[in-house]
Amino acid sequence: MVKIDQALHEKANNSEEVYGVLRGSAWVGGTAPYTQVLAVDGLRRTQNGIISISKEATKEQVSVAQDAELVLDAQEDGSLTVTARGKSRRSTCRFLFFF
C-alpha cells in the first residue's frame, strides 16, 4: 500500500495547470458537433488530463459552455481537440486544463 500511495503522490506533484481560451471564431463546422484544436506546450498524447471552465469565466461564458456541451475529444503531443456537441453561440470561453 505504501508503494501505491507514494506513486500517486509523485504523480499528483507532476500535474500542471494550463489556462486558455476557446475562441468563438475558431470553432470549425457548420452544424454541431463543432470542433476546436488548442495548442498546449509540453502536453504528451499519453498524459491523462481534464478540462473545465475556468473560475475566471463570466456567467455568460459558463452559460455558453453549458449549452455547448463541451467535451475533450482528442489529445495529441502539443494539442487538444475540444468538441461542442450542443449549441454553439460562437462565443469565447475561458478554460482550465490539468495534465
- Per DSSP, the three-state class of 5 is helix
Predicted confidence band of residue 35 (pLDDT cuts 50, 70, 90): very high
pLDDT exceeds cutoff 80 at 72: yes
Give the whole-number percent of the chain exceeding pLDDT 90: 17
Q: How far apart are CA 60 and CA 73, in angstroms?
A: 23
Q: What is the distance between the alpha carbons of residues 4 and 64, in angstroms, rounded to a whole number?
A: 40
Q: Is the pLDDT of residue 63 over 90?
A: no
Highest mean pLDDT among 22-26, 63-67, 74-78, 87-91: 74-78
CB atoms within 10 A of CB 34: 20
